[in-house]
Structure 1
């Protein structure tokens, strides 16, 4: 379980970072970035990433 949590946490941070970069990159200038949109998009992508990785959990015998 600890191994799954560590792997999922790393994947989630990477996914959230990539999402933030994508949203920031869609603005023409840094001053035009809507930081609320960046934060909410990153958080949502993190939640989705965790939910997608739940399928990797294996039942313990």
Structure 2
């Protein structure tokens, strides 16, 4: 794993965390009260899942590595 991979995986994880937070906050607001423990736990789980999914490969890192070889 390289610095490029960590940067790309981090960006993906941050985007996933933000999208998850928006969804969970929106869903819990409908129920009249935002449970911040549920929001935090769900965002953390989504972020970890994003990093684990990135272990399978990141297209932006693979394409930049191929360009570096040429």
Partner of 1:47: 48
Q: SS at 1:21's partner residue?
A: helix
Q: SS at 2:19's partner residue?
A: helix
Q: Distance in 2 between matches of 1:14 and 1:33?
A: 21
Alpha-carbon RMSD:
1.8
Q: Which segments of 5 or more consecutive residues in structure 2 lack a partner in the other structure? A: 63-70
Q: Compute the displacement of 1:28 (Å).
A: 2.3
Q: SS at 1:56's partner residue?
A: coil
Larger Rg: 2
Report the TM-score, using the length of structure 1 for normalisation: 0.85
Q: Which segments of 5 or more consecutive residues in structure 1 lack a partner in the other structure? A: none
